[in-house]
Amino acid sequence: GDKAFAQFLTDEIKEERKIQKHKSLPKVSGGWELEVHGTEAKLVRKVAGEKITVTFNINNSIPPSADEETQEEQKPDEQEPDLTSTPNFVVEVIKDDTKQTLVLDCHYPEDEVGHEGEEESDIFTIREVSFQPTGESDWKDTNYTLNTDSLDWALYDHLMDFLADRGVDNTFADELIELSTALEHQEYIKFLEDLKTFVKCQ
């Protein structure tokens, strides 16, 4: 059984390599620097007295609906649908002269992805906003967190503009999906390779 499994993985890796769009990770325009630690990626950008970081994790970032119905009726020679990774991402804005970091928790609404041609609709939304002490890795639950569900629209629009002014706009969000999808695929292939090594190990 293990031999067949290893053979299957070898073929699968070959196939995945073939459809891999990016041999190296795509760049995000606008001077963002990328750091990757396993499944977590961080984009950093410095502008006039501010540091903006965007963090996301590719785990569980592929919407579930995509693969359930297609598995059954797929003919063997049909190309699998492109899986797209749309991770939640956290934007932190740190101003040099304050001890506070503004944290905005953003996500891609599931029903929004793929509706082309809508008037200027944002492809991501801000879910929560809070202040956290700068430099502390553990965020406090005691800090007030603003949930945007019940937020005044004007305030919400200002927050979106605030992000856009710092380079986090629709273009960025599109490129983040590109990057995340490439990263997810890269990690998936690596996982298959590790699995193959593990299965073959006596």
pLDDT of residue 169: 95
**Spatial distance between the Cα atoms of 187 and 33, rounded to a whole number of angstroms:** 20
Query: Exposed, middle or buried: residue 185 (CB in 10 Å: 0-12, 13-18, 19+)?
Result: buried
Contact 84, 108 (CB under 8 A): no
Name the token pair of 179: 């990057």
Q: Is residue 72 part of a domain?
A: no
State the average pLDDT over residues 87-111. 90
Is a pLDDT exceeding 80 seen at residue 45? Answer: yes
**Torsion, CA 84, CA 44, CA 90, CA 103, rounded to 10:** -160
Q: Is residue 105 part of a domain?
A: yes
Q: Which of 33-47, 126-140, 167-181 has the lowest mean pLDDT?
A: 126-140
Structural domain boundaries, residue 153: 29-60+83-110+121-184
Q: 40: closest CA among 56, 61, 63, 62?
A: 56
**Spatial distance between the Cα atoms of 128 and 140, rounded to a whole number of angstroms:** 14
pLDDT of residue 70: 41
State the average pLDDT over residues 12-29. 90
Q: Is residue 95 part of a domain?
A: yes
Q: Is residue 156 part of a domain?
A: yes
39-42: list long-range contacts, CB under 8 Å, 24+ apart: 39/183, 39/187, 41/179, 41/180, 41/183
**Spatial distance between the Cα atoms of 169 and 145, rounded to a whole number of angstroms:** 22
Q: Is residue 38 part of a domain?
A: yes
**Higher pLDDT among residues 82 and 20, named by residue:** 20
pLDDT of residue 77: 47
pLDDT of residue 72: 43
State the average pLDDT over residues 188-198. 95
Q: Is residue 3 part of a domain?
A: no
pLDDT of residue 21: 82
**Higher pLDDT among residues 69 and 2, named by residue:** 2
- Angle between helices 2-19 and 170-200 in degrees, nearest 10: 150
Q: Is residue 149 part of a domain?
A: yes
pLDDT of residue 111: 63
Give the chain's domain count. Answer: 1
DSSP SS3 for 158 = helix
CATH number at residue 36: 3.10.280.10
Q: 42: closest CA among 54, 50, 59?
A: 54
Q: Is residue 23 part of a domain?
A: no
**Torsion, CA 51, CA 159, CA 131, CA 41, rounded to 10:** -50
pLDDT of residue 32: 95
Average model confidence (pLDDT) for the chain? 85
**Spatial distance between the Cα atoms of 119 and 81, rounded to a whole number of angstroms:** 26
Is a pLDDT exceeding 50 seen at residue 68? Answer: no
State the average pLDDT over residues 116-125. 70
pLDDT of residue 80: 55
State the average pLDDT over residues 119-136. 84
| pTM confidence score | 0.84
Is a pLDDT exceeding 50 seen at residue 4? Answer: yes
Q: 48: closest CA among 156, 133, 167, 176?
A: 167
Is a pLDDT exceeding 60 seen at residue 88? Answer: yes
